[in-house]
Amino acid sequence: MEHSPEELIGNFQFQRILKNDPKEKTLVLLGLIDNKDAIVFLEKSHFNVDQGSFKVGDIIKEIRLINNNDVYFWSSALIEHSLPEAPSGKVNIIYPATETHIKKYEEQKIHYITETPEMYATYVKPYIESMKGDRIKWVYNILFHGKESETFVYHDKDPDNGFVLLPDMKWDKVNMDSLYLCCIVNRCDISSIRDLNSSHISFLENLKKKIITITCTTYSIKADELRVFVHYQPSYYHLHIHVVNLMHQGLGNGIAAGRAILLDDVIENLRLVSDYYQVRNLNYFLGENHGLWAIEGFREANVKSNSSN
C-alpha cells in the first residue's frame, strides 16, 4: 500500500532524536508509524534566488536584532518561503525503518580503519554478502522494475554497460548549487571498489563520460563544476556513483577524505596496478553503529593493522 508523505508525517509518533547537526542544519528523528519504526530526516534548504530580480527585503519578513558592534550586526529573522520554488526545508522519511537505518543515522563514535586484503577476505566480504538480497531490494526495484522511473534523468537498460541516473534523495531538485545525482549501474557483479580491476577501466571511463555528458546537457552545468566519486565503505553494496555540484559543501562526511574517492583516482589507480584494490590496504573511517564494527574479529584485526603502520 502506497502512503503519502502527509499521511506518514501525520501518523508519526516521536520517540527520540537520533542526531541534531548545527553545521549541516539537519535533524533526524526516530518514531513510530502504525507501531513500526520510522525515521524523519529534516534539512533546512539552501537559499534559491534569482540574481536578476532578487531583493533581500522580499524574503526577510521579520527581523530582530541580537547584537551589534561597530560595523557588525547580527539578527534572527523570519524568512519568506513557498512551495515548490522556495521551500524552507526538505523532509526525508524512511518507513518502515530497520535497525540498520537507525544505527546509520544515530550519533556514534568514529574509528580509523586500516583494512588489509586479509581483513577484507575474512570479515568484510562475508559481511557484504550478508547485506545483499532483500536488503538492497529497493535498488533492484529502481533498476529492473521501474520504481522511481518518473524521476529518471537517464536510463540505459543494457545489462552490461547500462545504468540509471536519477536525483539523489539529498537534493531538493530546486537549487542547482546543491545538485546531487546518483548513478546506479545495471550489472550486479560489482559490490564495491574491492571488486574492481584493470578489466573494468573501459567500463568506468565510458560510464564517467556518459554521466558527465548527460548531467551537463540536462542541467546546463560544466564538467569541471562536478565532483564524481564513490564511497568506501558504501551505504549499500551495489556499484553506484555520486555526481555533485562542487558548490555543494554541506555534505559532511559524504565528501570527506576517509569516505569519498574520486572516480578519476579509481581509474588511474587501476591503470598503475591492475589488481590495485585487491592487494592494497584501504584506509577509511567507520562509525561504531556500522555492522562491521560489531564483528569482534574485525575490530581486533584493525587494532593489529593500525599498530603495524
Query: What 3 state SS string does 233-256 have?
Result: CCCCCCCEEEEEECCCCCCHHHHC
Place of cell 570479515: 123
148 labelled binding-site residue:
yes
Does residue 277 have a known ligand-binding role? no
Tell me: is residue 234 an annotated ligand-binding position. Answer: yes
The alpha carbons of the chain give a radius of gyration, in whole angstroms, of: 22
| Residue 112 is assigned to a ligand binding site | no
Residue 120 is assigned to a ligand binding site:
no
Cα angle for residues 299, 304, 308 (degrees, 5° grid) = 145
Active site residue 81: no
233 among annotated binding-site residues: yes
CA 116 – CA 125 distance, rounded (Å): 12
238 labelled binding-site residue: yes
CA distance 38 to 30: 6
Say which of 46, 200, 240, 248 is annotated catalytic.
240
Binding site annotation covers 248? no
Confirm or deny that 240 is annotated as ligand binding.
yes
Sheet holding 180-185, edge to edge: 154-156, 163-167, 180-185, 240-245, 226-231, 260-262
236 assigned ligand-binding residue: yes
CB atoms near residue 41 (< 10 Å): 18
Secondary structure of 197-225 in the HEC alphabet? Answer: CHHHHHHHHHHHHHHHHHHHHHHCCCHHH
| Residue 170 annotated as part of some ligand binding site | yes
The annotation places the binding site for substrate at 138, 148, 168, 170, 231-242
The annotation places the binding site at 138, 148, 168, 170, 231-242
Q: What residues are labeled active site?
A: 240
